[in-house]
Amino acid sequence: MSIKKSVVLFSGNGSNLKNLIEKSEDIKDKLKYVAAFTNNPKAGGINICHSLDLDVCINNDKNIDSELLVFLKKHNPDLIILAGYMKIIPAEIVDEYAGKIINIHPSLLPKYPGLNTHAKVLANKDANHGATVHFVTRDLDQGPIILQGKFNVPVDSNESTLKNLTHQSEYVIYPIAVKWFADGVIKMNDGQLYVNNKAIDSPILLLID
Ligand code: GAR
């Protein structure tokens, strides 16, 4: 089996990117990280790419989608990992790379797609919160869910507490989902998630304490 090529898209600190690469040793014969792409020339993740010796393509928001397409054509990835990439992937790219794009989102989808998820959890006094890895489809934050990490919201939490706990759950679930992809365990066909070739409709949930 040939080694799958993966690229990572980010807009901010890049802590998920760092965590993914640091935890990729056990899949190095199956998947390699070939390059990263950011829409934010000030993103902290750029330094992480440099320190990890990962080629990074830096753009600003002007013509970002055509730059992204050029980047993808150049690298021809088997897997596109969105790790805090805060731009919407245009429908043409989603369609061209269907089943090859995964995203991590800081909520227990379908709850709280979009922004400000931690504030919404606090405003609604939710007992639980977490993160979701899902395949990307044309509908924002609504593609088939691969894996979720769920935790109890501690008493007296604020946004910073929840952001930190959410990141901790992301660091657990994203490497697992990438490993499943590398191993050929998960696939998406026609908007349906398959695990070991079996159609799965209910989210796979990991409880994180
Ligand atoms: C993560 O919490 C990720 O879930 C979120 O951005 C953060 C990036 O952190 N993504 C989204 O909100 C996408 N809708 P990082 O740059 O430290 O990995």
List ligand 1's pocket residues with C-beta within 6 A.
Answer: 10, 12-16, 45, 83-84, 104-106, 131, 166-167, 170
- For residue 194, pLDDT over 90 is answered with yes
Q: Which atom of ligand 1 is nearest to the CA of 45?
A: 16
Question: Residue 209: pLDDT above 80?
Answer: no
Annotated active-site residue in 75, 105, 118, 167 = 105
- Are residues 31 and 24 in contact, defined by beta-carbon separation less than 8 angstroms? yes
Q: Write out the two tokens for 102.
A: 């995964």
105 is catalytic: yes
- Average pLDDT, integer, range 111-136: 98
Tell me the CATH architecture of domain 105-209. 3-Layer(aba) Sandwich (3.40)
pTM for this structure?
Answer: 0.98
Question: What are residue 128's DSSP bridge partners?
Answer: 152
Question: In the CATH hierarchy, which fold is given to the domain comprising 1-97?
Answer: Rossmann fold (3.40.50)
Nearby residues of 209 by Cβ (< 8 Å), 6 or more positions away: 151, 152
The rounded distance, in Å, linking the Cα atoms of 76 and 71 is 8
Residue 142 — very low, low, confident or very high, per pLDDT cuts 50/70/90? very high
Place 60 in a pLDDT band, splitting at 50, 70 and 90: confident
* Closest to 39 (Cα-Cα) out of 73, 5, 80, 89: 89
Identify whether the C-beta of residue 78 lies closer than 8 Å to the C-beta of residue 5.
yes
Average the pLDDT over 194-203 and give the result: 94
Element (H, E) at 49: helix 45-51
Looking at ligand 1, which atom is closest to the CA of residue 141? 14
How large is the angle between the packed helices 159-182 and 15-22, nearest 10 degrees? 40
Closest CA to 166 of 101, 122, 100: 122
Q: What's the CA gap between 173 and 87, in Å, rounded?
A: 22
Q: In what order do the strands lie in the sheet with 186-189?
A: 186-189, 192-195, 198-199
What pairing do the DSSP bridges indicate for beta strands 31-38 and 4-10? parallel
How far apart are the CA of 166 and the centre of ligand 1, in A?
Answer: 9
Residue 151 tokens read as 């935790």
Q: What is the pLDDT confidence band of residue 195, given thresholds at 50, 70 and 90?
A: very high
Pocket test for ligand 1, best of 88, 116, 167 (most atoms within 8 A of CB): 167
Does residue 61 have a pLDDT over 80?
no
Query: Domain ranges in the chain?
Result: 1-97, 105-209
Render 3-62 in DSSP notation, one character per residue. Answer: PEEEEEEESS--HHHHHHHHT-GGGTTTEEEEEEEES-TT-THHHHHHHTT--EEE--ST
Q: In this structure, which residue's CA is closest to atom 6 in ligand 1?
A: 84
Q: What is the pLDDT of residues 8-38, one digit of tens each?
A: 999 999 999 999 999 999 999 999 999 999 9
Torsion angles phi and psi, residue 96, rounded to 5: -65, -35
Measure Cα distances from 121 to 156, 160, 178 in Å. 13, 12, 27
pLDDT of res. 88 = 96
Q: Which residue has the tokens 């931690």?
A: 118
